[in-house]
Structure 1
């Protein structure tokens, strides 16, 4: 059995395709986060951070809503149900760790009221917010 090594030209084409897919995914994620931010704003929440990165990981959106810090993970897919299944336990743990780090810089620190939401965006751009979706750790 022999392995075909891609030529320089084939490798360049493959890398360009991968780059376009990555860019498209980034733009879709950006659009989903913007839709979610607008939904929270309509509820009266104040956006504090977008794509906040700490040592523990990244949090898509952080809001302050009625004196509660809301850490929101955004998932987009064809349907809300499909998006819901994209949040993995390991990701929830990383978000909790990053949120703890973020809270260290707030006035009440770890004593702050917090909530961990999951925002789902379907292919039509419709937003569904699941409040306190993963506050069980």
Structure 2
């Protein structure tokens, strides 16, 4: 049985996916786990593959969830994205980007940070 925290995380990720779908993105994968990292959501925005990190905090104080996507976390996301693309060669030739959904509160408020960081930032 999932913990309350895991249930909360799953609910926030589902809300984030619905939000992005309403914005026109299409889901490719969710919770793709790889050695050393996990991709919360993988979406399609036109011809771009979008790797989405969903970060939830009970409040927006202390920098919110987006501030917790530090250099170490970005490197893990990049590694997981590279592994994902190696197992999906048709997507590997397309452009990609890294977005962050910063979520807080109850019900969760969502702030979508498109192109939150780039590969060269890592």
Q: CA RMSD in A?
A: 1.8
Q: Aligned partners of 1:56, 1:102: CA distance in 2, in Å? A: 12
- The answer to whether structure 1 residue 131 and structure 2 residue 111 are counterparts is no
* 1:11-35 deviation digits (Å, cap 9, x = unpaired): xxxxxxxx9xx71111111111011
Q: Which has the higher strand share?
A: 2
Point out which structure has higher relative CO (alpha carbons under 8 A, 6+ apart). Answer: 2
Q: Aligned partners of 2:19, 2:94: CA distance in 1, in Å? A: 23
Q: Which has the higher helix share?
A: 1
Query: For structure 1, which runs of at least 5 residues remain unmatched after alignment?
Result: 1-18
TM-score norm. by structure 1 comes to 0.77
Q: Aligned partners of 2:91, 2:16: CA distance in 1, in Å? A: 26
Query: For structure 2, which runs of at least 5 residues remain unmatched after alignment?
Result: none
Q: Aligned partners of 1:126, 1:108: CA distance in 2, in Å? A: 31
The corresponding residue for 1:27 is 7
Q: Aligned partners of 2:39, 2:91: CA distance in 1, in Å? A: 20
Query: Which contiguous aligned blocks of 4+ residues in structure 1 show a shift greater than 3 angstroms?
Result: none
Q: Aligned partners of 1:96, 1:112: CA distance in 2, in Å? A: 15
* TM-fit CA distance, 1:55: 2.5
Q: Aligned partners of 2:99, 2:15: CA distance in 1, in Å? A: 15
Q: Is the 8 Å Cα contact of residues 99 and 117 (structure 2) preserved in structure 1?
A: yes
Give the number of aligned pairs.
116
TM-score norm. by structure 2 comes to 0.86
From 35, 52, 63, give the equivalent of 2:43.
Answer: 63
- The answer to whether structure 1 residue 42 and structure 2 residue 22 are counterparts is yes
Q: Aligned partners of 2:114, 2:101: CA distance in 1, in Å? A: 8
